[in-house]
Chain A
C-alpha cells in the first residue's frame, strides 16, 4: 500500500468569477460575494437527525450543532451583511419547532445584525416557525438570481441548490469523490452544507439539461483548497 503525505500550502478557498461577480468558494461549501458582502449556503437540512429518529433510526442528535458550528465559523470569517439560506434549511416542516433551545439561541446569535433570507425549499416550503429573517421563493441581487431548485431554462446568473452536487475523478488509478460547486458559467449549483447531507454525482441524470456540457466545471472541495476540474475529466 502506498500513501503519500499531504501538502498543505493552498488557501482553504478558491476565487471564481460568476456572472461578472467575483466570488469565493469556501471549503465549507459556502459561497461569498465580497462586493455585496453576501454569503450563500444551501441545503443545511437542520434537524435531519431528529427526523430520522422519528422513523426509528437513532442517528446522533448533533448534526444541527455541527452544521451551526460550521456556519458560525464561515460567518465569522467573512462577516457578511446578508446571508441567504438557499432552501431545505430544515429537513422537514417541523424542524424549526424541534430545534433544541441552545441551537435556537446559537442560530439567533448568528442572525443578529444582518439580513437573513430563508429561501423556500422542497423540504421546508413554509417559513421556519418562530425564527426571524425574511422568506422568499426566488430572490435577485444584482446580476444574480437565487432559488432552491434549478429552473429548467436558467437565465444567466442563476444560483441554486437542491441537487447536492459531488464529482468524481480518477487520478493515477485512484478514485476521489468530493462535494463540489458545479457551474457552466451560466448557472451555478451549490453543494449541500448540512452535516448529514449526502451528495449526488454531477453527471447523474438528475442534472440532465441543466448544464452546457462543454463548459461544465466542478469546483471540487479538497481539504486544503478548491480544485476546478473540467467536465471532460469527471467520471460518473
Chain B
C-alpha cells in the first residue's frame, strides 16, 4: 500500500474528516486525495461504493477512511461494557495481502493515537487467537472469503457481526469472476441480514463493465452502488521486443530473446518478468542464469514452490536486493513490489486487461509512466502482442463477463447457514436472490438445492434417515448432528487443488526409503506419473532427478546434467480473450497494418496471401492439404484453445461418421488441425461432404451431449462440483484424502449418477461449468452462428505458411485421459521444422 504518498492535486474539502486526521495529514504536508474524500462522503451518507482506480492511487486508504473516521469518533469504551461485535471486515483474495494491510494500516492508526484494534484471521491464524477473536472481536478484521464462510457457519455468527458497519472488498475484479466470488456474494448477503445497515466498499482495477460490480456490492434487484473512477495516471510505455534474432514458428519458450532480455535487465534497477505458466518460468529462469555472466541476483517465484522459499524471495524483493524476478500469476495481485522499474512479459498476455494489471506492478506510483517490454514467443504471439499493445493505448478492457452463481457453491452456503443457525427456507431464498450472481435463481431450483443438502436430492428417496439437515417443528431447517458442522468446517471453500505431490530431497544413498530431506514444493501428480525414476526435469530453478514416489511424496536428487526434461504443458493456461482474438484477426486481414510488425512476420503473412488466403474478419478460413500419406484440415477460428479443443472433438466425430477416417487433432489458441486417412477435400469436390454441414451449429446438440458424457473434462468438472457441494469430502475429520483418492471415487460416482439420474442438480451444475469453463461451448456457439454461410475453403496441394505453427505442435504435447486403446492406435510423430517451412514458403 502506497496510499500515503503525496496527492496529485491538493483538495480543499475536509469537512468530513475528524481533527486527528486533519492534523495527521497536515503534519506530513499532505492532503487527502479527491477520491478518498468523495468515497468518505458517500459512505457517511450511508451508501455503498465501488472505487475503480489504478495501482498507486491510494485505494486502500480510501477504502478504510470511512471506518477509521467512524471508529475515531465513537465514544470511549468503558470497561465492563457489553460485547461489541466487529466493526469493519476487510476481505482480500490473498492471505499475504491481508497481512500486508495490517502492517500498513497500523502505522497511521498508531501515529494518530487512535483506539482501534486491527487483526488478521486467515488459515494460518492459531486456534487460540481465533477463539479469542470470537470472544473479543477486533474493530477491524482482515480476512479471506473462506474465513468469512467459516465465521458464518459458527453458531455465534449473528452476535459477532451485529455491529458490522463496513465491508471492504479488495481486488474485487479478480474475486468476482470465480466460484470464490459466488461464495463471497452469498456471504455478503448473509452479512446484510445480520447487520442491515452494513455498507460495502469495493476496490477494483479497471474493468469492462463497472455496473456489474456496482450491482454485486448491494442487494438486488435494481440497486447499484455509487461509483468513483480514478483515471489512470501516466500512460505506460510499452514496446514489443525488437530482436535481431529470428522469431520462432511455434513453441512458448522465447529462447531466441534471452540475450535481449538479459541486456534489458542489466539496464534497469529491478525487473519483474512475467510468464503465463510455471514451466515457462522455470525455463526462462534457467536460460537467464545460463547467460548471467555478471551474476546478477535473479530469483524465481511461482505458486508450486515451497512457501518458505517464496517468502524468502518476497523478502529479498522488499529490501531491494534483487535485480530481477521471474514470476507467474502468483504475483498478479496487489502486493507492493517497491522499486520495479521494468516489467518484461514473456509470451503473449492473452488478455488486454491482464496485461494492464501486470504492467501496473512496475513503478507503483500513478504519476510516473510504467515501462514494459513484451516478448512474443512465436509468430502468432507477435500479432497478439501487437493487438494487446493497441488495446492498452486505447484503454480497452476485456475482463470476462460475470456468470450466474454456481449451484454447487449455493449448496455449500446453504449447509453453512444451517451450521450457523436454523433457517426458514423462504427467508433464506429472499436473502440469496439479493446477491447479484443469484438474482435470477428460481425458487424451484432453490428447493432442489435444499433437497440436495438434506438427503442428496435423489429421485430414489433412499436417504431420508441419513439427512444432514432436517426441518424442526417450527418449519426451520437445522443440521441433524453437530458432526455435520465439524465436517463442513473441514471442507469449506471453492478452491479445489489438482492432485499434487510434495517434492522432497532424498537423503543420500537412501532412495525412497527413510524420511527424506527438505521439501522443495509441489508438483502435479499427472506430470510425475509420466517420468521414470532417473528422469530429469526442471523445478525451482534446478535440474532434478526423480528417485521415486512414495505415497504423496516424490523424492528427487540434484542432477548436474544440462538437458533436463522441462514440465510440458499446453501453451498458456489462460485462453486468448475474445477481444484480443478479434483484434488479431483484424490485423491479419488488413495488410496496411502490417507495417507495425517485424519484417519477417509481415513476410510470412504476404506469402500466406500469395499461396493460400488470409483469414478474413467475418469468415472462417479452412485449408486442406495432403502430407505424408495423410490429409490435413486446418481451421483458423481464433477462438482460444478451449473452444478449439471442443470443436476438434466434435468435428472428429462428424468426420468419422462421414467416413473420412480421422486420426486425431491438435488445437492452439489460433487454429485447429485435424488429420485423416481420407482426403476431405476430395470428398467435398465429389459432394460427399459439405463443409457448411460439417460446421453446422447442430453439432452443439446431440453430438456435444454424447461426447460430453464420456469426456474426462466433464469428469473433472464434476469432481470439483461434487467437492464444493459437499458430496465428496476434501477432508474427513481425522484423515486427509489425497487428490488421487478423490479423483477415483468421483469418476465412479459420475458414471453411476449419469446412468441413473442424468438431470440431477449436480450434473446440471457440472454442465454449466463446462459450458463456460473447460469447454467454452458458449464461445464456440457464437462462432458457429457467425460464420454460417461464410466458410472459405482453400484446397491446397501442400502446407501453407500459416499452418506451419500448428503442424509443429502435432505430437509435441501430451494429454491425459484418453483410453489405452487410443494410445495403441496412436501413430503420429513430430515433424521437422526445416522441412515444413521449406514446403510452405518455398517457390
Residues of A at the B interface (CB closer than 8 Å) are 1-8, 10, 49-50, 53-54, 56-63, 65-66, 69, 100, 168-176, 178, 195-199, 220, 222-225, 227, 235-236
Contacts and interface: CB of A to CB of B under 8 A. Distances in A.
Contact of A2 (B456, B665, B755): B665
B608 to A, nearest CB: 24
Contacts of B825: 4-7
Interface in B651-666: 652, 656, 662-666
Contact of B824 (A50, A63, A171): A171
Interface of B: 455-456, 458, 460, 462-463, 466, 468, 483-484, 487, 526, 529-530, 532, 549, 570, 641, 645, 648-649, 652, 656, 662-667, 727-729, 741, 744-745, 748-749, 751-753, 755-757, 760, 809-816, 818-826, 828
B813 A2 contact: yes
Contact of A172 (B549, B752, B823): B823
29 contacts: A1-B667, A3-B665, A3-B818, A5-B652, A5-B663, A6-B821, A7-B825, A53-B463, A53-B466, A57-B729, A60-B749, A60-B752, A60-B760, A62-B460, A62-B755, A62-B756, A66-B751, A66-B755, A171-B824, A175-B526, A175-B816, A178-B820, A195-B748, A198-B745, A222-B820, A223-B819, A224-B821, A227-B821, A235-B529
Contacts of A169: 820
Nearest to B463: A53
A56 B652 contact: no
Contacts of B462: 50, 53, 61, 100
Contacts of A196: 745, 748-749, 752
Contacts of A199: 744
Contacts of B460: 61-62, 100
Contacts of B549: 236
Given A56-B483, A62-B757, A227-B824, A1 B463 contact: no
Contacts of B665: 2-3
A34 B656 CA distance: 36
Residue among B648, B664, B745, B820 facing the most chain A CB atoms (10 A cut-off): B820
Nearest to A198: B744
Given A1-B667, A3-B818, A5-B652, A62 B753 contact: yes
Interface SS majority for chain A:
loop
A3 B812 CA distance: 11
A198 B662 contact: no
A171 B760 CA distance: 36
A155 to B, nearest CB: 32
Contacts of A227: 820-821, 824
A193 B71 CA distance: 65
A204 B727 CA distance: 29
Residue among A60, A65, A174, A198 facing the most chain B CB atoms (10 A cut-off): A60
Residue among A5, A69, A170 facing the most chain B CB atoms (10 A cut-off): A5
**Closest A-B pairs by Cβ, 4 of them:** A58-B456, A62-B756, A61-B462, A4-B664
Given A1-B570, A2-B665, A196-B749, A60 B815 contact: no
B819 A176 contact: yes
B812 to A, nearest CB: 8
Residue among B466, B641, B741 facing the most chain A CB atoms (10 A cut-off): B466
Contacts of B666: 1-2
B658 to A, nearest CB: 13
B751 A222 contact: no
Nearest to A221: B820
Contacts of A49: 752
Contacts of A1: 570, 641, 645, 666-667, 813, 815
Contact of A174 (B455, B748, B818, B828): B818
Residue among A3, A57, A170, A197 facing the most chain B CB atoms (10 A cut-off): A3
Contact of A4 (B641, B755, B822): B822
Contacts of A197: 748
Contact of A60 (B458, B814, B818, B824): B458
Given A56-B468, A222-B820, A3 B648 contact: yes
Contacts of A100: 460, 462
A175 B816 CA distance: 7
